[in-house]
Amino acid sequence: MSETNDDTTPLLRDDVSSDCQDAEYKSRWRSIRVMYFTMFLSSVGFTIVITSLWPYLQKIDPSADASFLGWVVAAYSLGQMTASPLFGLWSNHRPRREPLVCSILINLVANIYYAYAHLPKTWNKYHILISRTFVGFGAGNVAVARSYVAGATSLKERTGAMANMSAGQALGFILGPALQACFSFIGESGITLKFIDLELNMYTAPALLAAALGLINIILVLFVLKEHHVDDEGRCIQPSINYADDNVEDSVEEAEESVDQVAVLTSNILFFIVMFVFAIFETITTPLTMDMFAWTRKEAVLYNGIIICCIGFESIFVFLVVKLSSQRFGDRPVLMAGLAFIFWGFFCLLPWGNHYPKIQWADLQNNTQVSQMALASATNSTVEPTGCPSVQTWCQYTPAINIAQFIISDILIGVGYPTCNVMSYTLYSKVLGPKPQGSIWLADSFRQRRSDTRPNFCV
């Protein structure tokens, strides 16, 4: 079985190598697809609660403000940034199954912790902060997943496989809020499982779903994932190969030296920008719509989930047309077009006109005593206040955006983000040139295990 990797090969299709036996080939691609699923869950762990994070904070700890929300969102990324090199280093010296299972288990436990953050009597917001930090720490396995796929694919297969990884990550970012929207019908009260002291509602159910998916991921890693490594031509590396050969190490080092480091740095900066702007977009949508459109917490979670779900379907179509566009116009022009779509998406959110957001308690009189009594009465009421909080003075002089602006912005960003995500990874793969993208891992292994017997990666 063999195919040539020509311009007609779909971007999201796994190429076939004839150099490995059929059973080995199937095992290798089953393992690679487990890494796709792992990458997808890593992104879902961030976004599945992102639209309900702000309402959940307000519900369980009224002392949490918008600034603290920023810290909670940043905690995930800080945890992931810290864990990625640690898990990557671990995978350099041990089977990749070990750091993968450990990281997924941390993620699983952290999501359960998030679901129980309402239980303590005080400092609930800090429990959310800690849980999200560990969820991000568990998501640090993306370095291991990418390293595995880079080492388990031939040069011809690698661009498509990396694009698949990118697609899985992008879909996880986009479809996570859609899963959250499905749970909004449970409501804020939900049901209480007294025997385990768990409130199952629209805030905790998504985190528990992420934990359940993590359990499935652990099972797949333990029973499906196998260690595989192939060379540039797709030939499985057998134990009979002499890894202590100085020529092998010299060839790896020579390939590393030939990489354009400026291009590598530029690719990483572009990827940072793309992920940064989309994370901001997903983070601000819930508080923004609650302030601008006077939506309740439940409405904000439901409507934003539906909107981002639609963006997810839009992104699937974008993934399918990106390959054709890159063939006709080139990789860089397509990436630039994606960045332009993102820019215009945020530009559409600029406020204009003389319509201002509804202010909470705007109907109160200026009399201080009357205002305090009315505020206390409203606070004790079961009716949820909506609109811009009165402490946010910018709401008094900043025009409100309208729903059409918001929808147009969503559509534009829904085109730009998946385009930039896929093309940044594709360009990065090409910048690294004709060598396995896991060669740094290989070089370390050559230096530290020159006298060791190499396991058979193809079984």
Distance CA 92, CA 82 (A): 17
Residue 93: other Cβ atoms inside 10 A: 13
What is the residue-averaged pLDDT of the chain? 78
Q: Is the pLDDT of residue 223 over 80?
A: yes
Q: Is the pLDDT of residue 174 over 50?
A: yes
- Tokens encoding 401: 């955006």
pLDDT greater at residue 432 or residue 342 = 342
What's this model's pTM, rounded to 2 decimal places? 0.70
- Residue 199's SS3 state is strand
Average pLDDT over residues 325-347: 89
Residue 225 neighbours by CB under 8 Å, 6+ apart: 31, 34, 35, 96, 97, 100
Which residues on neighbouring strands pair with residue 192, listed in sequence order?
A: 199
Confidence bin at 432 (pLDDT 50/70/90): low
Which residues on neighbouring strands pair with residue 199, listed in sequence order?
A: 192
Q: Where in the chain are the domains?
A: 22-350+401-448
22-350+401-448 CATH: 1.20.1250.20
- Tokens encoding 195: 């025997």
Are 140 and 83 in contact by the 8 Å Cβ rule? The answer is yes
Percentage above 90 pLDDT, the chain: 23
Give burial (CB, 10 Å; 0-12/13-18/19+) of 100. Answer: buried
Confidence bin at 369 (pLDDT 50/70/90): very low
Vertex 305 angle, CA 283 and 323, to 5°: 85
Distance CA 433, CA 438 (A): 12
Distance CA 114, CA 120 (A): 12
| H/E element, 200 | strand 198-200
